[in-house]
């Protein structure tokens, strides 16, 4: 079971450091560092909101605007990843978290 805090931290890490582990669509990767590190938590809260989850501190209007101009081009305004073209950010378990869990389960066997 993942808590909202865990999920938020995962999204912040992807925003700051990128993601290149999912081999999504012919190895396209997500670059980290497009947002200022101080803005990443607010953007993460907005992403959580897209799947109906709530951060303790609500996202600001800026974060919503930031998302639509910098993230929605790939992940869609609704976060669902433009019909499979990019990762769906509203899945119950995000792909990167699922991958980490599978890996841990395998080495713990
Ligand atoms: C140029 C297209 C593009 C843009 C713009 C983009 N992403 Fe991504 N994003 C991707 C791709 C491709 C991946 C998967 C990369 C991989 O690991 O293979 C990804 C992965 C992610 C993941 C991990 C998904 C998972 O299922 O584990 C998160 C979270 C994420 N992006 C959030 C964001 C946020 C927030 C923004 C805006 C700051 C953003 N992305 C902007 C293309 C993009």
Most informative mutation of 26, 30, 40 for ligand 1 (most atoms within 8 A of CB): 30
> Does ligand 1 lie within 6 Å of residue 14's CB atom?
yes
pTM: 0.93
Q: With contact defined as beta carbons under 8 Å apart, do 92 and 15 qualify?
A: no
pLDDT at 61: 82
Instruction: State the average pLDDT over residues 40-60.
Output: 88
Q: Is the dihedral of CA 84, 87, 90, 93 positive or negative?
A: positive
> Does ligand 1 lie within 6 Å of residue 60's CB atom?
no
52 CA to centre of ligand 1 in angstroms? 19
> Does ligand 1 lie within 6 Å of residue 95's CB atom?
yes
Question: Residue 33 and residue 9: Cα distance in Å, rounded?
Answer: 15
Nearest C-alpha to atom 7 of ligand 1 is from which residue? 30
pLDDT at 28: 83
Mean residue pLDDT across the chain? 91
Instruction: State the average pLDDT over residues 5-32.
Output: 90
Chain center to CA of 21? 13
Give the list of residues 6+ apart from residue 32 with CB closer than 8 angstroms, or none.
14, 15, 16, 17, 18, 19
How sure is the predictor about 1, in pLDDT bands with cuts at 50, 70 and 90?
low
Question: Which residues sit opposite 30 in a β-bridge?
Answer: 19
> Does ligand 1 lie within 6 Å of residue 71's CB atom?
yes
């Amino acid at each position: 079971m993942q808590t909202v805090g865990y999920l938020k931290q995962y999204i912040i890490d992807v925003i700051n450091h990128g993601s290149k582990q999912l081999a999504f669509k012919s190895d396209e990767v997500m670059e980290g560092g497009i947002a200022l590190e101080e803005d990443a938590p607010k953007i993460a809260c907005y992403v959580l909101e897209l799947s109906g989850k709530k951060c303790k501190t609500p996202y600001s209007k800026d974060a919503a605007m930031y998302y639509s101009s910098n993230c929605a081009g790939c992940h869609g305004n609704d976060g669902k990843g433009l019909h499979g073209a990019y990762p769906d950010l509203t899945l119950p378990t995000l792909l990167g978290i699922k991958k980490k869990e599978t890996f841990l389960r395998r080495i713990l066997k």
